[in-house]
Structure 1
Amino acid sequence: MSQRFQVELKKLVDNSYEIEIGEGLFPSLIRDIQGGLVPGVSKYAIITDSSVEPLYGRPLLALLRQNGFVAELFAFPAGEPSKTRETKALLEDQLLSHSYGRDCCIIAVGGGAVTDLAGFLAGTFGRGVPSLNYATTLLAAADASVGGKTGVNTPVATNLIGVFHQPRKVYIDLAAWRTLPVREFRSGLAETIKHACLADAKFFEYLEDHIGKIVSPDGELILDPETCEQIALHNCRIKYEVVEQDEHESNLRQILNLGHTAGRALEAVSGYALLHGEAVAVGLVIQAKLGVKLGYMTGEQAERVAALLRRAGLPTEIPDAITNRMLMDKMYTDKKVRSGRIRFVFQDGIGAMKRFADGSYSTPVEEATIMELLEEIRG
């Protein structure tokens, strides 16, 4: 005869946090922690990469120490190939060797790879410690600032291992955008265009009208301040409105994966020679053209998506070195795959997403249909 005991652990957790958008936000960060933003913290760990370390990591470390805070800086080699379990373990070992424990706060300073990796570390170190994100790239502002999804890449797939861990606050430093290589900035524009495609037709039109105010046709960054601020605000608002309804990606949040089924596969198959946004740009075009084939959007709408991506200086074609078979095989590692079938999320025209009869925002697409489309794209 067995005995049973029910463990009741129902609780309401408030994961709300503020996003501050502006230029030169280090003083604001210092004021926030002086004001008790992260109570009970005795040590701060700045996590950054080798590119951001001299520009923002070291100055923030000096500022923290000048204001009487105990802080250290931990950096890893810049680039998506470093976003791995091995890098996370090395950082954890460094934190432990410096006597960091549950009374610490992680400050992630950098782009999406930094906030993804540092957020995952914060979510598991000491079974979870508070974190702050200081976003220095458009990609981090567009994709990593809202939602709390963290993770690392493996040889099999990208971002398949991680946790949901919400930061206590996010700072989006628009001044940092001027330090970015043009290719990195364009990469962030892909996620911005994705947001317009999936949720806001007027924002899509705004980007069509204003893209020339942030990047010129010959590729130089212009970065009109008002336009940059509008882009940052719209990115945060669109992503927030999705995440608020589906924090843990049970259904609706899948729409933020627009362009990523093929895009993430391209990124991995290229050995990360393609930046994340470059791969997503091609993935958006594949999704749009597949959507035309399946009747979810018109050819004219798909061309508007491709044209805007091209004007942003982003690629819209599959690199010749990547075969259709290579791309197809890698798509089977996508996190939306169910019962061995590749699933896509699709635009419903421009500014909305297709919801299917079963209530889901993703739908399986047969391999033969995808292969046919890939062959058509190659012409």
Structure 2
Amino acid sequence: MANFRVPLKKYVDSSYDIEVGSNLYGKLSRDLKDGIIENVNRYAIITDSNVKDLFGEHLLNLLRNDGFYVEMFTFPSGEQNKTRETKAQLEDQMLAKSYGRDSCIIALGGGTVSDLSGYLAGTYCRGIPYINYPTTLLAAADASIGGKTAVNTPVATNLIGVFHQPRKVYIDLITWGTLPYRQIRSGLAETIIHACLGDINFFQYLENNIARLYSPNNELSLDNEVCEHIAFKNCEIKFRVVEKDDEEKNFRKVLNLGHTAGRAIEALSNYNLLHGEAVAIGLAFQAYLGKKLNFNTIDEYRRIINLLKLAELPTEIPNDIKSVDLINKMYTDKKVRNSQIHFVFQDGIGKMKQFNSGDYSIPISEELLLESLDEFRKL
């Protein structure tokens, strides 16, 4: 019998810059001219049907006028279209245009575009570079750092994907001004989650300043100083987590705060709830469960609920979603281990609970979940 060992040790620097500012299209073009990505001859802008008309055509024409070979590929907007089928269609379109390993993807859009484009880039020709240009507050908060890319399946959201880091991220605050009121609120949910898990001072800042994003008649009134601070703090907090655990072996699980129930609620609503709205409800329930287990106080729980309401986010599970269905859907979460639903919990506000095992998540029994859901729905 013969044995041959293949010694493979990889040391990779996946560092990248995040630029926060306004009207960054020209900066993107200049960076490409300066060789931010080497050995690339073709660029593919991937966007959805909404962003295509808002920003896609403008970026396409700008890059073409600057001498780049670039095409735009679009798919119907909406989380329900973040699927393997959509990914395959985009891949076929790129192949038909002779895109190969000398290509780079520019993901232009919200979280759906970021997730789908990053996954496509991670597998196309066994991996090509991509640039992330998020156009929503939610995408800037959730998809700019970490390199988690994925598509949804009928079983659960974000179940199939890869870790693939962008080469650079451009957070263009001008794009936020085109967002519907509801989309801004949705993006604030991930912002509040970041404050809850990593920075009590930022939580207090949101309590004091979140109203500067809205006018009294429920219209946007985006204060540029607040927007820039929110964008920066989202990146800073998430980076501190990802730096310690870039492939989600343990500590990075804390970013699942609000998402265990939230993603299940999102799917059970048939995506009628936006992602941020669903995880806001998930955060509210997780905070209640944490209070019940004495991980946070009643006052801390109330502050979390009050901040969600100040952001005009939902905090109640829709009546048409049954508790038993919600629990069954939670079993499809990627964090399930040994057929047990795992939750992460706050250790007060601005810090996450690490348990005696060293893990940042613990299993919660079906009985406790059902009891807690019933109590939560009666509040």
Do both proteins adopt the same fold according to a TM-score greater than 0.5, normalized to the shorter chain?
yes
In structure 2, how many angstroms separate the alpha carbons of the residues matched to 1:327 and 1:212? 32
Q: 1:283 maps to which residue?
A: 282
Q: 1:162 maps to which residue?
A: 161
Q: Which amino acid aligns with 1:79?
A: G
In structure 2, how many angstroms separate the alpha carbons of the residues matched to 1:187 and 1:124? 29
Q: Which amino acid aligns with 1:298?
A: T
Deviations 1:213-262 (A, max 9, x none): 11245432111000000000000000001101100000000000100000
Q: 1:223 maps to which residue?
A: 222
Q: 2:192 maps to which residue?
A: 193
Q: 2:60 maps to which residue?
A: 61
**Is 1:35 equivalent to 2:34 in the alignment?**
yes
Match of 2:277, SS state, is: helix
Q: 2:141 maps to which residue?
A: 142
In structure 2, how many angstroms separate the alpha carbons of the residues matched to 1:214 and 1:301? 24
Q: 1:177 maps to which residue?
A: 176
Q: 2:79 maps to which residue?
A: 80
Say if 1:107 and 1:133, in contact at 8 Å, map to a contact too. yes
Q: 1:24 maps to which residue?
A: 23
Match of 2:15, SS state, is: coil
**Is 1:378 equivalent to 2:359 in the alignment?**
no
The runs of 5 or more residues in structure 2 that have no matched partner are: none
In structure 2, how many angstroms separate the alpha carbons of the residues matched to 1:22 and 1:219? 25
In structure 2, how many angstroms separate the alpha carbons of the residues matched to 1:125 and 1:278? 32
In structure 1, how many angstroms separate the alpha carbons of the residues matched to 2:214 and 2:161? 34
Q: 1:11 maps to which residue?
A: 10
Match of 2:73, SS state, is: strand
Q: Which amino acid aligns with 1:203?
A: F
Deviations 1:294-334 (A, max 9, x none): 11001111111111011111100000111111111100111
In structure 2, how many angstroms separate the alpha carbons of the residues matched to 1:253 and 1:109? 26
Backbone CA RMSD of aligned residues: 0.7
Match of 2:318, SS state, is: coil
The 5-angstrom pairing of residues 291-330 of structure 1 reads: 291-330=290-329
Q: Which amino acid aligns with 2:9?
A: K
Q: 1:213 maps to which residue?
A: 212
Say if 1:217 and 1:311, in contact at 8 Å, map to a contact too. no
Q: CA deviation at 1:13?
A: 0.1
Q: 1:352 maps to which residue?
A: 351
After TM superposition, which residue ranges in structure 1, 4 or more long, deviate above 6 angstroms?
Answer: none
In structure 1, how many angstroms separate the alpha carbons of the residues matched to 2:163 and 2:305? 32
Say if 1:111 and 1:38 are closer, same or farther in 2 by CA, change over 3 A: same
Deviations 1:187-208 (A, max 9, x none): 1000000000000000000000
**Is 1:51 equivalent to 2:33 in the alignment?**
no
In structure 2, how many angstroms separate the alpha carbons of the residues matched to 1:11 and 1:273? 43
Q: CA deviation at 1:15?
A: 0.2
Deviations 1:158-207 (A, max 9, x none): 00100000000000010100000111111100000000000000000000
Say if 1:217 and 1:300 are closer, same or farther in 2 by CA, change over 3 A: farther
Q: Which amino acid aligns with 2:34?
A: G
Q: 1:331 maps to which residue?
A: 330
Q: 1:115 maps to which residue?
A: 114
Match of 2:347, SS state, is: coil
Q: 2:99 maps to which residue?
A: 100
Match of 1:48, SS state, is: strand
In structure 2, how many angstroms separate the alpha carbons of the residues matched to 1:305 and 1:218? 24
Match of 2:245, SS state, is: coil
In structure 1, how many angstroms separate the alpha carbons of the residues matched to 2:181 and 2:317? 21
The runs of 5 or more residues in structure 1 that have no matched partner are: none
Count of matched residue pairs: 378
Q: 2:251 maps to which residue?
A: 252
